[in-house]
Structure 1
C-alpha cells in the first residue's frame, strides 16, 4: 500500500486527517525502521507493507466503533505501538495506555511518543495480571492485536473494561478460535456482539474484528496468573 493509497483508504474509512497527522505517521515509519535495525520490533520493514499491515490494519477498528465517542483506551501487548499509537495519531482526543511486558519495546515507545509530541499517552512496562490491581474496569475500550489465543486474550483484557465498554480483538479468520472463546467471554462478564470480517486491500489476507461488550462486572478471581491461564484456559470442560 503506497502512501497515496493509504490516504484514499482513510477517506473510505471516513477518518478525518490533517497533513500533520500524515507527517507524524511517516515519521513513525522512519523511526520504526531506524530502531528496528538494532532492536527487533517488526519483521515487516517495507513502507508498503507497514502502511498496509500495521497502519491501515490498526485503523480498521473504525468499522466496529466510533472512536470519537471514546475517552480512554488500553492497548494490551502493544509491541511497537500497534494499534495504539496509530489510533492516537488520528484520534488525538483519546487518552491511551500502551501496555507491554517487554522493556525494549516500551523504551522504543517512550522515545517514539516524545519524538511525535503525543500527549495523554501512558506507557506501562508490566504484565496484564499485575497491572489490573489498580486499574480494574477503568477503560472505555480495550484493544489487542496480540497473537495469543482469543480465550487467553479475553481473560487478560475484559477485566480492564468498564461495564458498558468494549473489548475489541484484531484476529485472523478463525471461527473455531472465536467460538471456543465464548465460554470465557460469558464467565468474565462479556457478550459477543459482533464479528466483522475484513480483507486487506491489495491481497487476500483475511482479518476479523471480534467485538465484545462488557455487560457485567468481572469476578475478582480474574485474571489469573499467566501460567494458570495457559494451563487451564476458560473453556467448557469436555464430558
Structure 2
C-alpha cells in the first residue's frame, strides 16, 4: 500500500469500515480508469491521487457513517456522473443492488467499463433523464435508498429523486456548505412529494477539513401520479412557493 491507501484505510477504520485487499485493489483500479478516461472526456476536475481518494472516494462512503448500509438492499444513484457516490459504496458494500441513472451516455459507457473492470455484479446502468426513468414501473417507489451528490438544489433534487424512493425509504442528498437556505425553499416540494426531513448530518473532510452535509429525507407515501413532471420542466419551474 502507498501512503494514500494507508491513510484512506485508517480513516475508514476510524469510522468502523474495514477494507479487504481486494477492495483496496478495486479502488486503485477505479482511480486509474478514472484518470485514463478523464483524458478523453470530462469526468472530474480532480485527478491527483490523494485528492480523489479524499474528495471522491471517502466523501462518497461518508453516507455509511450515518446510515446502516448493511440494512439497505437496493440503492439508486441519480445523476451519478463518474460514479459518485454509488460505485465507492458498492465496492465497500458488495451486497448492494446498485442502479445508476445518468443523462449522458458517455458517462454510462465509462461506468459500464469500470463495473466490468472491477468485477462488480448487480449494477444496473441507465442512460436517461431522471424524470423519464422514474415514470417506469420497475423504478417508481422502488428503492430503499436513493442518493444524489452535488447535482442540484434540494427543491429540484426532491422531484428528481423522491419518485425513486420507496415508502419509508430514504433519500440522502449529499451537499457541501450549510444547506439551511435550500431546506427552507424545499419545504413545499417535500409536502407535494410525500416526504419529510429526517435529519441533517454534518462532518468535515479529513486533511482539508471542508464542510460536508448529508440531508436525510424519509418518504412517507407513494409519489402522486403527476410527479415527476415532464423532463425539463422541474429545472425551469422547481416546486417552490
TM above 0.5: yes
Deviation at 1:203, TM superposition (A): 1.4
Counterpart secondary structure, 1:2: helix
Counterpart residue number, 2:170: 166
TM-score of the superposed pair, with normalisation by structure 1: 0.96
Superposition RMSD in Å:
1.2
In the alignment, structure 2 segments of 5+ residues that lack a partner are none
Kindly report which structure 2 residues correspond to 1:1-239, keeping only aligned pairs within 5 A, or say none. Answer: 2-134=4-136, 135-173=139-177, 174-236=179-241
The answer to whether the Cα contact below 8 Å between 1:97 and 1:124 also exists between their aligned partners in 2 is: yes
Deviation at 1:220, TM superposition (A): 1.0
In the alignment, structure 1 segments of 5+ residues that lack a partner are none
Deviation at 1:19, TM superposition (A): 0.6
The answer to whether the Cα contact below 8 Å between 2:135 and 2:228 also exists between their aligned partners in 1 is: no
Counterpart secondary structure, 1:5: helix
Deviates further, 195-204 or 118-127: 195-204
> Separation in 2 of the partners of 1:30 and 1:71?
29
The ranges of structure 1 where at least 4 consecutive aligned residues each deviate by more than 2 angstroms after the TM superposition are: none
The answer to whether the Cα contact below 8 Å between 1:77 and 1:146 also exists between their aligned partners in 2 is: no
Instruction: Deviation per CA, 1:71-107: give whole Å up to 9, x if none.
Output: 0000000111101010100100000001101011000
> Separation in 2 of the partners of 1:67 and 1:45?
28
* Aligned length, in residue pairs: 236
